[in-house]
Amino acid sequence: MNEQTQDLKAVLLQTNEEFHTLAAQHHTLEDRLHELVEKPHLSEPEQLEEITLKIQAQNQSINDLLSEGAELAQRLQEKIAVASKGVAGAQKKR
């Protein structure tokens, strides 16, 4: 995660109750998954829980990547818009 994303996350954790709640739930699920992975033997319900938690973690990773991709696309569009204005301004001066 880049620094800008980390800063945004820190602000949201402090100011957005829903984001804070989701982050706390994510942390709880990660802790539980770690507990299950550390066990030498799992019961069938624990195996199912482990698989479910891994899928949830994978989905979160995919969502994070999609979000970062959207942010990059937005920044690229902004840079293109600024560059286009610069080119158009230079052409008018000729």
Could you report the per-residue pLDDT of 45-79, keeping only the tens digit for each? 999 999 999 898 888 878 777 777 777 778 888 88
Model pLDDT, residue 91: 64
Structure-token pair, residue 6: 């980390």
Q: Secondary structure of 36-79 in the HEC alphabet?
A: HHHCCCCCHHHHHHHHHHHHHHHHHHHHHHHHHHHHHHHHHHHH
Could you report the per-residue pLDDT of 10-19, keeping only the tens digit for each? 877 888 788 7
Residue with the two structure tokens 């624990």: 46
Residues sharing a CB contact under 8 Å with residue 1, sequence separation 6 or more, in sequence order: 9, 64, 68
Model pLDDT, residue 1: 59
